[in-house]
Structure formats: structure tokens, C-alpha cells
Amino acid sequence: MKKVTITTLAIVMAMGFSTYTFANTSTKPEVSKEELTYLKSINPSITSTKVDSLMKQRNQLDELHKQTEKLELDYGILVDNTKDPNKEPKILDDLTAEQREKHFQLIDKIWSEELRFLDAQYKAGLIKEDDYKLNKRNFEYLREKNSLNNAS
């Protein structure tokens, strides 16, 4: 079960554009000239306001990922091997029903936000339609797979 969660999150982070373009954003309120220039090379009509909105959305999504990592460390399903190299992670089935439900809800929220962010990037003209459709299909498949794994 842990492998599914880690694999799922790894795939989300590796899916390219959304993470690549917005991964180095900080909590600053405005977009840098370099970032805007780069995004304008993809879509010349994008505005700094739209980019600010996307950056804010990406930061919120990054925060959800941090919350998930903290929760998984707290529950023991994610282990920091630098602190205890011999510690084995728990599997989701070892958690209480309440813990599993909380974990599932947070993961499902991440999937929802990932899909919203993907949609926002597409609407902003930063993703080609074919890439958008493929990524959306992959996200939906992985979200459904995660839901089925958590239901069992």
C-alpha cells in the first residue's frame, strides 16, 4: 500500500511541466521578470496576474504535499532512514481506521488540486492540448487507482 502511495506521488511530481515550471516559486506575491519572460515564450498573451494566480495555486499544492509527507512521517508509513536506517515503514493496513481515512482524504485532496492546477495551466495556454489530455487521463487513472486501493 505504501508503495502505491509513494509511486503515485512520485508520478505526480515527475509528470513534468506543472512541477518544472512552478517548482521554484516562493511565497513572493509577484512574478519575476525571468519567470514571466519564460512563460510568455510559451504563451505570449499570458499576463503577470494569471502567472501570479498559477504560482499561488502551485504553492498551495506544494503545501498539501508537505502536509502529506509530515502526516506519513507521523504515522510511520514514511520513514526517514537518515535518522533510523533500520526502521521499517508501516503499511496503511497497520493504521487505525481514523488514520487511514485522514490519509486518504489528504491524498484525494491532492489529486483534486493537481487536476485543478493542470486545468488552470491548460486554460492559461501553457500546456498543449495533447499533453493536457494525456496528463489529465493519467492523473484520473492514478486517482482512481489510489481510491480503489484505499477502499480495500
* Domain spans in the chain, listed from the N-terminal domain onward: 2-151
What cell numbers appear for 122 in the block? Answer: 491548460
pLDDT of 46 strictly over 80:
yes
Q: Report DSSP letters for the chain, one per residue.
A: -HHHHHHHHHHHHHS-HHHHHHTT--S-SS--HHHHHHHHHH-TT--HHHHHHHHHHHHHHHHHHHHHHHHHHHHTSS--TTT-TTPPPPPGGGS-HHHHHHHHHHHHHHHHHHHHHHHHHHHTT-S-HHHHHHHHHHHHHHHHHHHHHHH-
Q: Does residue 25 have a pLDDT over 70?
A: no
Give the model's pLDDT for residue 64.
97
| Residue 72: per-residue pLDDT | 95
Grid coordinates belonging to 8: 503515485
